[in-house]
Amino acid sequence: MTAIIDLSDKVALVVGASKGIGAGTAKAFARAGATVVLAARNQSAIDEVARQIQEAGGRALAVQADVTDPGSMETLVSRTIAAFGRLDAAFNNATDGPRPAPLAQIDPEAFDRGIRTNIHGTFHGMKFQIAAMLENGGGTIVNMASTAGVEGVSGLSAYVAGKAGIIGLSRVAALDYADRNIRVNVIAPGPILTHHLEAAGQEAQRMAAVAVPMDRLGTVTDVADAVLWLSSPSSGFMTGAVLPLDGGQLSGRVIKSNFRRDT
């Protein structure tokens, strides 16, 4: 990421920062000058990301937290304020869902776990983040949804319901606090090359990219850049929005046999 966005003197909280998009976005916040608090259930993983940020000259604190536990999320925000005195930006990135299967075959507990992580987790995060931001005169929140929360995907009932719920919840929060200088926006990525797709192999990556009009997978940097922009004054008149990061996927279908393009 280029050093266009300056978040010096800001404190950013990244929830779900142990790997992939969360870890990459935490590092991007640090490169932009922000002090970063990293949160996840895996303490050793966020310790390692914090160490990398610190070795690069940034400031970082790793705090173990569970988004499904409101007390844990309250403690996370309290520790952020105790350490740095403020909270300016939050990125709620934790996600979960059962393995793909037709709806009638989904285990109810697995479905509930996906909803708890996505919807309850985002609610718990925003509840305490907003309270801290109100004490500080405002702030920004970016919540992680998915293109699957905008359009249905077969076999992903818990994931789709969870991501759609995040979008609705975020819009309400944006309206509730629009006049209090707190902006709440959502990103909706399509297929992003993270550890999940890397582990699936090249054929799975190729098949995922086929559905993208730009004919490539998104990258962690693509997502991190969008989160930083939504967390900066450059997007200052934007709240309640859902920003697709999908290479044009939600725009419709490209039927290449319909035309011949010579240029």
Q: Which CATH architecture has domain 11-235?
A: 3-Layer(aba) Sandwich (3.40)
Model pLDDT, residue 260: 56
**Could you give the angle at which helices 157-177 and 108-115 cross, rounded to 10 degrees?**
30
3-7, 235-239, 259-263: segment of lowest average pLDDT: 259-263
pLDDT digits (tens, 9 = 90+) for 134-193: 999 999 999 999 999 999 899 999 999 999 999 999 999 999 999 999 999 999 999 998
230 touches 218 (CB < 8 A)? no
Model pLDDT, residue 54: 99
242 touches 150 (CB < 8 A)? yes
- Token pair in block for residue 261: 């393009």
Per domain, the residue ranges of the chain are 11-235
Positions annotated as catalytic residues are: 159
Model pLDDT, residue 59: 98
Query: Which alpha helices (H) appear in the chain, and where do they start and end?
Result: 20-31, 43-55, 70-84, 108-115, 121-135, 157-177, 195-200, 202-210, 220-230
255: Cβ–Cβ under 8 A, 6 or more apart, which residues? none
- Token pair in block for residue 215: 């004919």
pLDDT digits (tens, 9 = 90+) for 100-138: 999 999 999 999 999 999 999 999 999 999 999 999 999
In the predicted structure, residue 263 carries a pLDDT above the cut 70: no
Model pLDDT, residue 254: 76
32-46, 81-95, 143-157, 202-216: segment of lowest average pLDDT: 202-216
Give the β-pairing of 139-144 and 89-92: parallel
204: Cβ–Cβ under 8 A, 6 or more apart, which residues? 197
Cα angle 18, 23, 25; round to 5: 145
Model pLDDT, residue 2: 45
CA distance 100 to 162: 14
Residue 143, helix vs strand vs coil = strand
pLDDT digits (tens, 9 = 90+) for 175-187: 999 999 999 999 9
Rounded to the nearest integer, the mean pLDDT of the chain is 94
Model pLDDT, residue 1: 45
Model pLDDT, residue 201: 86
- Token pair in block for residue 181: 């200088």
In the predicted structure, residue 207 carries a pLDDT above the cut 90: no
Give the rounded percent of residues in the chain with a pLDDT score beyond 90: 84
98 touches 46 (CB < 8 A)? no
DSSP label at 5? S
65: Cβ–Cβ under 8 A, 6 or more apart, which residues? 15, 39, 40, 41, 72, 73, 75, 76
| Cα distances (Å, whole numbers) of residue 39 to 60, 72, 94, 214 | 11, 10, 9, 33
Q: What is the dihedral of CA 119, 235, 182, 114, to 10 degrees?
A: 10
33 touches 6 (CB < 8 A)? yes
191 touches 218 (CB < 8 A)? yes
Q: How confident is the model at residue 211 (pLDDT cuts 50, 70, 90)?
A: confident
Q: How confident is the model at residue 18 (pLDDT cuts 50, 70, 90)?
A: very high
In the predicted structure, residue 88 carries a pLDDT above the cut 70: yes
Which amino acid does the sequence have at 160?
V
Q: How confident is the model at residue 78 (pLDDT cuts 50, 70, 90)?
A: very high
